[in-house]
Amino acid sequence: MTFENKEWSRNLTKTDDGIFRTINGSADELIGIGRAIKAGFNCSRVDIPNGRYDAVIDIGSGKLLRIQIKGVGKNRSGNLGSVSFTGGERSGKQINREIKSRTYKYTEKDIDILMAVDSGNGECYLIPVKDLKKWGTKKALSMLQEYKENWDILIKIANEKKHKNN
């Protein structure tokens, strides 16, 4: 019996949608970190709210890869949605809409890898930050298949970073 691509149960407790989105985002971060650890990487969560990255991977020689983790769910038509390449945005009833937006697109100054996690099944898309330059502020996961479960990207970027400035 195979469970490939089986959707995980979601919000069985009927938590309020806004609260559940926050909880689900935290769960996606933990799933991404767990998947990196299972792939053999020394990965740790960065516990600073609103930081530019959510996790780090220790690649040795005192160097870290900075990982931004984004959960991606289904869109309104039921298809897998798009991953945002931006940070700084906030949502919800409690947000003051009169204050200027602090949204920014991730660059090499912020992160090394953007990891998109399929909220439905935990599949990970490992996107080097330099590749974000080719696109706008978001892209459908269906258009990012070369990054899906491509853990070799982490190895490649780790090797590049280890040899840089040595």
Residue 11 lies in a domain: no
Q: How far apart are the first and last CA of the chain?
A: 49
Structural domain boundaries enclosing 82 = 17-161
Indicate whether 4 belongs to any domain: no
Q: Judge whether 5 lies within some domain.
A: no
From CA 142, how far away is CA 127, in angstroms rounded?
14
User: Is 131 within the bounds of a domain?
Assistant: yes
What is the CATH number for 114?
A: 3.40.1350.10
pLDDT at 45: 95
Q: Model-level pTM?
A: 0.85
> Taken in order 164, 108, 144, 124, is the CA torsion positive or negative?
positive
Residue 105 lies in a domain: yes
Residue 21 inside a domain? The answer is yes
The answer to whether residue 132 sits within a structural domain is yes
pLDDT in tens, the chain (166 residues): 444 556 666 778 888 877 878 888 888 999 999 999 999 999 999 988 778 899 999 988 788 999 999 999 877 777 778 999 998 876 555 455 566 667 889 999 999 999 999 988 999 999 999 999 999 999 999 999 999 999 999 889 988 887 776 5
The per-residue pLDDT for 1 is: 42
Q: How many domains does one find in the chain?
A: 1
Residue 156 resides in a domain = yes
